[in-house]
Structure 1
């Protein structure tokens, strides 16, 4: 009897575990739904990036919270300028998706449309960011104290330290987000321009109506009442009052048709203007100087010229966090929450693989950890995975790639997205470390 009871415990325990697992999955889905709903209420729609990240709702919350704070909450930079800096950052990687979104936000917040004609049309202060933007996007190890000094000591166009820190955070945020957009194919959600009616005909009219004499067409508007009057005048059974009433109604109908025609032409003109505006959004090259400047391998043989960035000397936890938080209130906490959230995401591959991905990206960007055995990278990361990581982290530019980076193994969608999140956050932290170290060097010089 006792043996029988013990045998029955296992299926009951297994069933209980399944119920608990289903409850956890349901809870995570509900949380993801709440996050997306908040995102939709804030922007009027759910963007493709949030949809991709929704499989990891805890991380998505921290990402949206930080992004909202950077772009929309109190800070030293005006809101339109923040989105213009984001356009500059996304343009370095020819990310049409982000260039379009931030262009729309820039105009919505009252930004000058002339600035969208190209970088040369922007104010001198914003143009001064071009060099640090280029360096952080492709070769962040080149960021130097001299670059910071140029921005802070340039006469009427000079930046304050607080403004510069916020600008650097926006640049790094958008550069790394380009990697996620590229790796997850999120830019396939780029809105298409509004379609125009054939042959330039107003959208409320059929292209064949005018040619076939349809009274709704433009060719028949002028003589519609005349034709009706001629028909009614030969009808001997119609009295004068009835004839006048019909003529009056015909005139009113004619006026209404002309009004509809004018409205349709106005809509058509608006569509043409919107097409031109969207073409402006979709051309990142006008915000890019020195387009040949790109990522170069940071090799050990270059140590004499570019010293390896050792985390033991300058780390996010001990140095970058406090400096960022001091010059740009609360941003350190929000960024730190992002870094912690992405490493806390549940993964079947364990923490060793997460650390291998993170440290491999930092290694490619010249950052090394003295307490880490880099043999783990070769042991844990397959060659195809390493090729994928390098492509997404260092070359997230569809204009320079013949095809999107191929997947390395048949993984679940959520696992693939998690790897893309690790790439994004590791790159974000690397750029911030280089920029904040350069600012620190300027402050203590």
Structure 2
């Protein structure tokens, strides 16, 4: 069995679980050892995606707090159903790696699984339409969708289920974005590994450190929306994965010229209105979600590539706001010309693929990103992308919940 952890990251770069000092900072070392040991003791392994997250121990800690509360706490939805909801969500992006893991955990930890489609309760399958909408067009998720689901679900368990769907849509993005390889004992059945391409770097890398320092001239005249990433698209429907997801829906670009928007993003932010609803409906782990999102965007070692002492906040905010703008969320207090300043075309393409249709990401995309980043910085980039998408999905979902339940 192969011990390969990632198709994109060199195996020698992956931090080992035991036997060596892995971090220059003693506190990070302690967090890494404590959290990976807890994961190992709980589920019998540290899955490949969490080993890669472990390059940022503080993020891994916050991530595992969310996962632990989702799957190790007494909640209003049964354990079996929670595993299947994660399974459904991963299917929207054909993320068989996560699907195999969730099925494995349900069988080994809970001793149960749905062997046939006919065994799946209608209440659980009713999530299918919401699942694909939130995954591919969250701006179309509406008050009516929530009200239709409330016929079978109570409000608290519904918000829990929808939040879990969003969680595993975004986690699928991380898996594909860093090229996570299958677990040795859980080979993929319905996914063919693409042949190794001849990787060619098509464009030179941007000296992002110099831009952050303000040492290079740049143009702010381009409209960042009008870039070639707009013609990207996902795969056509796959019957196997659509059946598991519960419905089918193809991604489309957010209609930028749309006059009628569901709401003004500056007036319904996650940090304010949306989080209030999340805290009210799923108090068990709303704070953990908040902490993880904030950790992803705030993490920095103040260096880019080989350059130290760099304030990377503007770059992190450009990535975050580009992802959310792709999902139709635009804020009055952000200067969107900064996106063109920091993110060139191939960088935007890579980011958009991870955020919108991660199943299409290739190693060529990874290599051709136009920012000169270290392997760890590429991991951080992926964490930012996935948390920005997670927040965007939550905002759309919670706005629809607010309207349906008249919580405004």
Q: TM-score range by the shorter chain?
A: 0.7 to 0.9
For residue 167 of structure 1, report the CA deviation from its aligned partner.
0.1
Tell me whether 1:405 sits opposite 2:403 in the alignment: no
The aligned residue for residue 103 of structure 1 is 103
The aligned residue for residue 297 of structure 1 is 253
For residue 43 of structure 1, report the CA deviation from its aligned partner.
1.2
Residues 187/166 of structure 1: CA separation in 2 closer, same or farther (3 Å cut): farther
One of 307, 321, 337 as aligned partner of 1:359: 321
Cα deviation 1:5-53 (Å, max 9, x = unaligned):
xxxxxxxxxxxxxxxxx99534423432222112111111111011101
Distance 2:181 2:170 in 1: 14
Kindly indicate whether the alpha-carbon contact (under 8 Å) linking 2:100 and 2:186 is maintained by their aligned counterparts in 1. no
The aligned residue for residue 248 of structure 1 is none
Larger Cα-atom Rg: 1
The aligned residue for residue 229 of structure 1 is none
Kindly indicate whether the alpha-carbon contact (under 8 Å) linking 2:131 and 2:246 is maintained by their aligned counterparts in 1. no
For residue 359 of structure 1, report the CA deviation from its aligned partner.
0.5
TM-score (norm 1): 0.69
Tell me whether 1:343 sits opposite 2:297 in the alignment: yes
Partner-residue secondary structure (3-state), 1:299: coil
Distance 1:309 1:395 in 2: 24
Cα deviation 1:89-141 (Å, max 9, x = unaligned):
0011110111001112222354654x3433x5411101110000010000000
Partner-residue secondary structure (3-state), 1:406: helix
Residues 422/104 of structure 1: CA separation in 2 closer, same or farther (3 Å cut): same
For residue 338 of structure 1, report the CA deviation from its aligned partner.
0.5
Distance 2:364 2:45 in 1: 27
Kindly indicate whether the alpha-carbon contact (under 8 Å) linking 2:65 and 2:288 is maintained by their aligned counterparts in 1. yes
Moved more, 325-334 or 96-105: 325-334
Partner-residue secondary structure (3-state), 2:257: helix
One of 308, 312, 318 as aligned partner of 2:272: 318
Kindly indicate whether the alpha-carbon contact (under 8 Å) linking 1:35 and 1:61 is maintained by their aligned counterparts in 2. yes
Question: Within 5 A, what are the aligned runs for 1:276-295?
Answer: 284-291=241-248, 293-295=249-251
When you count helix as a share of all residues, which structure comes out higher? Answer: 1
- Structure 1: tracts of 5 or more residues without a match: 1-21, 195-282
For residue 193 of structure 1, report the CA deviation from its aligned partner.
5.2
Distance 2:24 2:45 in 1: 27
The aligned residue for residue 83 of structure 1 is 83
Distance 2:259 2:93 in 1: 27
Partner-residue secondary structure (3-state), 2:366: coil
Tell me whether 1:418 sits opposite 2:364 in the alignment: no
For residue 332 of structure 1, report the CA deviation from its aligned partner.
1.9
Count residues in correspondence. Answer: 325
Kindly indicate whether the alpha-carbon contact (under 8 Å) linking 1:91 and 1:287 is maintained by their aligned counterparts in 2. yes
What's the RMSD between the two structures over aligned residues? 2.3
Partner-residue secondary structure (3-state), 1:311: coil
- Structure 2: tracts of 5 or more residues without a match: 1-21, 189-239, 305-311
The aligned residue for residue 134 of structure 1 is 132
Kindly indicate whether the alpha-carbon contact (under 8 Å) linking 2:49 and 2:175 is maintained by their aligned counterparts in 1. yes
The aligned residue for residue 36 of structure 1 is 36
Tell me whether 1:385 sits opposite 2:383 in the alignment: no
For residue 410 of structure 1, report the CA deviation from its aligned partner.
4.2
The aligned residue for residue 262 of structure 1 is none
Distance 2:403 2:337 in 1: 33
Partner-residue secondary structure (3-state), 2:359: coil
For residue 287 of structure 1, report the CA deviation from its aligned partner.
0.3
